[in-house]
Amino acid sequence: AWDALARGDIKEVLYGGAKGGGKSVFGCMWCFAKALEIINECQIAPRKHPIPVGFMGRKRGVDFTNTTLETWKRFIPVNMYEIKSKPAEIIIARRVKILTGGLDNSEVINKFNSAEYAFFFLDQAEEIDVQKVGELRATFRLIINGQKIPGKGLFTANPAPSFLKDEFILNPTPDRLFIQALPTDNHHLGPEYIEVLKDSITSHRQSRWYEEGP
């Protein structure tokens, strides 16, 4: 997924699949890396008012705060960022910031109308309404020091019916790519977790899907 998001011909990636595949961790680390990349490429110095460069969110703000934001705190070096405001604004190296929140908050959605971002990360995206995603996609117009930053979007999701299946699996455009996340991708999980997943799935075919993919 990391390599796919770095490709010039790919604009959006769906990293989806089994629970426990490390998807939220990946999303947080990718957003952090993107922020650092923008700082370096655009030679951004420390600023009194950091530049908004991206957005991280979930359907509900409370779920983002209690899960995804906690994942960020666990895996991103604490000396590299500070968190201010509500919804949280993650300030990276006093130079840029990532806005966060829930797409159930009308104030968050309204900000998309004037926002200019270079990337977004939507966790548990199978829960989100496609119309709200469309408003976020329209924010890809960030220019820093005269340089247009190509927009990138990352969706993470567990298996569930949603717009993602049509857009990334059944009828994907050339700039969208689906990459499957498996529990075995997450080295922090022990073999007992895989066995719990297998025991909770009734059919042999589904059990193999969680281990190997369809």
Residue 42 within any structural domain of the chain: yes
pLDDT of residue 87: 92
Our count of domains for the chain comes to 1
pLDDT of residue 141: 95
Residue numbers of the domain that contains 38: 1-203
Chain centroid, CA 160 distance in Å: 17
Residue 45 within any structural domain of the chain: yes
Q: How far apart are CA 115 and CA 111, in angstroms?
A: 6
Residue 176 within any structural domain of the chain: yes
pLDDT of residue 7: 96
pLDDT of residue 30: 97
pLDDT of residue 183: 58
Chain centroid, CA 206 distance in Å: 26
The answer to whether 135 touches 113, Cβ cutoff 8 Å, is yes
CATH number at residue 47: 3.40.50.300
pLDDT of residue 119: 98
pLDDT of residue 19: 67
Q: How far apart are CA 64 and CA 145, in angstroms?
A: 32
pLDDT of residue 17: 80
pLDDT of residue 199: 53
Q: What are the backbone dihedrals phi and psi of residue 128, each rounded to the nearest 5 degrees, phi first?
A: -95, 145
Q: How many residues does the chain have?
A: 214
Residue 214 within any structural domain of the chain: no
Residue 144 within any structural domain of the chain: yes
Give me the residues of the chain with pLDDT under 50, please: 186, 188-190, 193-198, 200-214
The token duo for 169 is 């699996």
Residue 54 within any structural domain of the chain: yes
Residue 151 within any structural domain of the chain: yes
Residue 213 within any structural domain of the chain: no
Q: What is the enclosing helix (H) or strand (E) of 144?
A: strand 143-144
